[in-house]
Structure 1
Amino acid sequence: MNIIAMIPARYSASRFPAKLMQDLAGKPVIVRTYEATLATGLFDDVYVVTDSAIIFDEIKKHGGKVIMSKKEHECGSDRIAEAVEDMDIDIVINVQGDEPFTDKKSLSKLIEVFKHDPQKEIDLASLMVHITDEAEITNPNTVKVIVDKENFALYFSRSPIPYPRDKNAHVKYYKHKGVYAFRKQAILDFYHLPMLSLEASEKIECIRYLEYGKRIKMVETDILGVEIDTPEDLEHARKLWK
């Protein structure tokens, strides 16, 4: 299989503008993420795909591969789909640009999903982390996922799912980590299919796949990683880097 990584990178961000260009131990966050993804050795190619001339030039300056988006996009999946439409690839993994501590172990697990799917029944795979903190479970900024007995996603929500009506049910809560591995056709289908009401309501892009009948295999990982969404997250990342 020809497997590539794509790192979608927007310059503007509502909670932390220009976060991908913030300094992390002498290099911008997006460069650190690109280099960490490349260093895993898992991919035939690694690209940043961006709408920003600033990010484009920065990746080029550091010898990386970068693609400029041709049009405006609502989400990272759309940005990646446009970039890979004419590429000869089998699997594309979406690595978040604000995660400079990219984890090889978790990415390997996603790739293995497709190596053990000869019938091509799985359209995409993604990561989930078991969470127990009540504040995180109820936080709408934390996307939760519920799965069936074979770990296929049933639904994603910003609400606590399942609802704990029976406190003795001992259910597990899982946080969805926004790292995806797609078959090429699945992400192209996403790009050309319109948003439906559930995705529009929750503002969670992977719900579109479920609404159109795609199968999402969830892979459990115990590595939370560091997502840089706020200036406080950046300071935490700087301390970890040291």
Structure 2
Amino acid sequence: MKIIAVIPARYASTRFPAKLLKDLGGKTIIRRTYEAAVATALFDDVFVVTDSDLIYAEIEKHGGKVVMSIREHESGSDRIAEAVADMEADIVVNVQGDEPFINKENLEKLIGIFKDDPDNQVDLASLMTPIDDWERIENPNVVKVIVDQNQLALYFSRSVIPYPRDREVGVQYYQHIGIYAFRKAALIAFSTWPMKTLEASEKLEQLRYLEYGKKIKMAETRHLGIGIDTEADLEAAKKLLERYPDL
């Protein structure tokens, strides 16, 4: 089984333009993320895929592997599918470009789902974390997921799922953490499918996989990534790196 990691790296960012090229402890964020992915030793290969000449040059000049995205894409899956179409791979792991402090345990959980699936029943793997705060549960910016007894995703929503008609039942709510591992075949197929109504309504690309009958298996984690979305996040990351230089 050949496993590769792909790091989508867009230059534009509404909240923090050019954030991936900002300095973090003497290296750009995207370079630090790339090197951290390589250092996990979990992957047969690691690539950055970008729409930016500047990001392309940054990775290339430091000896990394980078692919230029040719087309504009509506979703991360489409962008990754284009990048890996001609690559030899069985499993493709999407590593977030703005999370330089990679949690190896989370990536091992995703890869482990496929290693424990000898009949190739699972098409995607992703992560979820328990949430108990009702403000977060009701927040439409926090994507929720419900699963069956085998940890296969039943649905993802910005709404509260399941609806708490009886709060005494004691349902555990889960937030979806948008890190994915794909079978390459499912990823390529995704890029050929027209969007259906559930995805269009919720604006959640993972629903396209469910609408077309693909199986998404979830792994539970309490180790959340440290994303850099704002200047404040970057300053916090710098302080963290000063305190723990081996991160």
Alpha-carbon distance in structure 2 between the residues aligned to 1:113 and 1:132: 26
Residues 100 and 177 of structure 1: CA distance in aligned 2, closer, same or farther (over 3 Å)? same
Amino acid at match of 1:161: I
Alignment correspondent of 1:157 = 157
* Displacement of 1:158: 1.4
Give the superposed CA RMSD: 1.2
- For these two proteins, the number of residue pairs brought into alignment is 242
For structure 2, the 5+ residue unaligned runs are 243-247
Alignment correspondent of 1:128 = 128
Alignment correspondent of 2:35 = 35
User: Residue 141 in 1 paired to residue 141 in 2?
Assistant: yes
Mapping of residues 75-154 of structure 1, within 5 Å: 75-154=75-154
* Displacement of 1:229: 2.0
- What are the Cα deviations for residues 40-67 of structure 1, in whole angstroms up to 9, with x where unaligned? 0000000000111111111112211100
Alpha-carbon distance in structure 2 between the residues aligned to 1:228 and 1:175: 19
* Displacement of 1:181: 0.6
Alignment correspondent of 1:4 = 4
TM-score norm. by structure 2 comes to: 0.94
Alpha-carbon distance in structure 2 between the residues aligned to 1:30 and 1:197: 34
TM-score norm. by structure 1 comes to: 0.96
* Displacement of 1:230: 2.3
For structure 1, the 5+ residue unaligned runs are none
Amino acid at match of 2:4: I
* Displacement of 1:168: 0.8
* Displacement of 1:213: 0.6
Which runs of structure 1 show a deviation greater than 3 angstroms over 4 or more consecutive aligned residues? none
Alignment correspondent of 2:177 = 177
* Displacement of 1:184: 0.7
Mapping of residues 13-24 of structure 1, within 5 Å: 13-24=13-24
Alpha-carbon distance in structure 1 between the residues aligned to 2:139 and 2:83: 33
SS at match of 1:121: coil
Fraction of identical pairs, as percent = 65
Alpha-carbon distance in structure 1 between the residues aligned to 2:161 and 2:16: 28
Alpha-carbon distance in structure 1 between the residues aligned to 2:17 and 2:140: 21
Q: Which deviates further from its counterpart, 163-172 or 148-157?
A: 163-172
* Displacement of 1:133: 2.3
SS at match of 2:78: helix
Amino acid at match of 1:119: D
Amino acid at match of 1:180: Y
Mapping of residues 201-212 of structure 1, within 5 Å: 201-212=201-212
